[in-house]
Structure 1
Amino acid sequence: MPVKNRFAELLPEITEWRRDIHENPEILYDTHRTSALVAEKLKAFGCDEIVTGIGRTGVVGVIKGKSDGSGKVIGLRADMDALPILEATGLPYASKTRGAMHACGHDGHTAMLLGAAKYLSETRNFDGTVVVIFQPAEEGGGGGKEMCDDGMMERFGIQEVYGMHNWPGRPVGSFAIRPGSFFAAADQFDIHVTGKGGHAAKPHETLDTTVIASQIVIALQTIASRNVDPVKQVVVSVTSFETGSKAHNVIPETVHLKGTVRTLDGEVQDLTEARMREIVDLTARAYGGRAEIDYRRGYPVMVNSEEQTAFAAEVASAVSGDCADAPLVMGGEDFAFMLEERPGAYILVGNGDTAMVHHPEYNFNDEAIPAGCSWWAEIVERRMPAA
């Protein structure tokens, strides 16, 4: 396939971009260096329009085809931000910023979309307009929502939008996708338990918040096992248990719990939140204490559109020879906000036998670059064929 051959030629250059971004990770919206690099590359490629500062530090490039008789406008999105993780890869191009690392492959996503933008700017072999979207703050910051709230879809007339994520454990350059609900809604909660502290040798004189909080943790697990339909998915994870004391002989006055809830269905999300509020309040009261929950809705369920998913799978099969059925993923993905605004699809590209994402030894596999770039380019050329 000519596209794949071209990206094989560009691989050393795109790899160099990727490793430079990896070496200089930036977290959330502080992607100033990365955003500047992206804008500089898009300008060098000859993009027709480049806009910075969308969604605070997002970058958008516009590439017009040889003709525009179709009137179609397709958005292609990559994320740019890193994670607050101490890198442990030992690579020559490892992070130079202590405590920040591209542990999710956003460096690879950005580099692949830049590669696709270079190719599309060179060839213009399509009838319509491509909008390349480089987003900050995917890792918990809601950068996709910020870009949408800035009017990106309307401003650039985007009609469909496509995204991609690397996936460790899948063969390098292979693809997987599914229609409908794909990635989970990701909510967060904080629970504050209050009782009566005192000496550990006299528990009868206290209202033991450690016991109360422990009962709450256990009771929350009954939401999945006894409240939600067994064929539906929900994860309630308490990830932190902090007491108001560090002494061995003190029963603490307060306990702070925090964690996350993952669901793939709006009704299950509503049920889970309601049951959590009841369990937290009533369990604490049953033991004579008090507890309050701060429950915050985060990223919504990411839902792939049926038609665009079928098309994306067809393109993936053309690029790599096959496209597998992807499993449901209980992780969150803020591309969900863009898919709420416009129909589109999100696909997984294989990263090979590597450490999992969000692991200090993870590294994006540069061998996946030609397949990823080719998929984006083929999305454009097949969806908007040149007249």
Structure 2
Amino acid sequence: MTFVLAWKHAKHVYLCADSAVTYPSLPPDSDLTTAFGENSGDSTNSLVDERAMKLVNLGQAIVGLCGDYSIARRVLLALRDELIHQPPKEAFSAALRDYEPQDDLRKIKLVIAWPQGTEAVACGYNADGGGRIEDLESDHAFRLSGTSMHRELTIEAIAKVTKSAATPAQQLACILSLLQSYGVNRNYLQEGIGGAYCGAVVTPSEIKWQGDIMYIITQPGQYLTHAITTRIRDNVLTVQTTIGSRTKVMAELLSSGPLDDWLSEHKFEIEGVMSDYSFDFVSFLTAGYPICTVVEMNGAEKSADLRMPKVVAVLGSDELQMELEMSARVREATVQPSIAEDSGTVRPKLTFFEFAPHQCEMTVR
């Protein structure tokens, strides 16, 4: 399984995708856990690894894919060739129409989005399981695969975020953070969903990748926490984590070109990510409760709500963890769950703090 999400609002199209890939047996270079600490599982007689970038930027259009990767990639190859001669929707239709055997297309789901001058446009293939191309209407969403919980809670969050005055970059960061928080409190990797998520916004004029995000997994009452960063450069996703002190690079060669060339160009940038305080957003994912708290940083080292974390070594371990300083309102947001009045049950909570210049003392945590 996989989880690819696309929605349209105010002439923009947003796309998000996880990085989990299911194998009959894990490749020899696989890790036992994802960057977020999710454990690989074999509950479905298969194993899952975090290693795929499922959003593919073809220049004129960006595609989200799920299902059988070999089939989806053949469609992408045909689409790339068709884009030379015709507009994205016609190219998408031709790539699917000419695929043989047609029955294999039942094994994939795709969404394609592109800028079209006055607005961004998107359509999905097999989004509803009907084996057809369907336009993405404004204030609607395509949810490709995923559990019913993923689909329902995410749609609730999208409705809330789009009603706010948040910018497209802020909206995308909030939904990415919510998706990422699912795996902190339950191991969906055993269901084929999880790992690091990535996202993009298609505006009326361009395709824009997500901002740089530092995720911090925190538990109420703890001083030290884990951190994971996601950055996209030249269509390649870099994930760094203090859980095992690892760096993962994920790419689709159709959009990135030879990975060795990319690594050579970005080597020093990758090595310095954890000591670089320049992030667009810091997202706190609370373990134990479905709480997601997003703080906008705009690349600053400190704001009114947060001083960028310092990396510290854990005594007697090769792992790295984080020391934090945050405002009282952010601290409260990360520990106070949302309780439904009608049932008394805990509900997922998403809180966003817009960037404000540093002015006051912070609470040390």
TM-score with structure 2 setting the length: 0.24
Q: Which has the higher strand share?
A: 2
TM value normalised by structure 1: 0.23
The structure whose RCO (Cα within 8 Å, separation 6+) is larger is 1
The structure number with the bigger radius of gyration is: 1
Query: Which of the two has greater helix per residue?
Result: 1
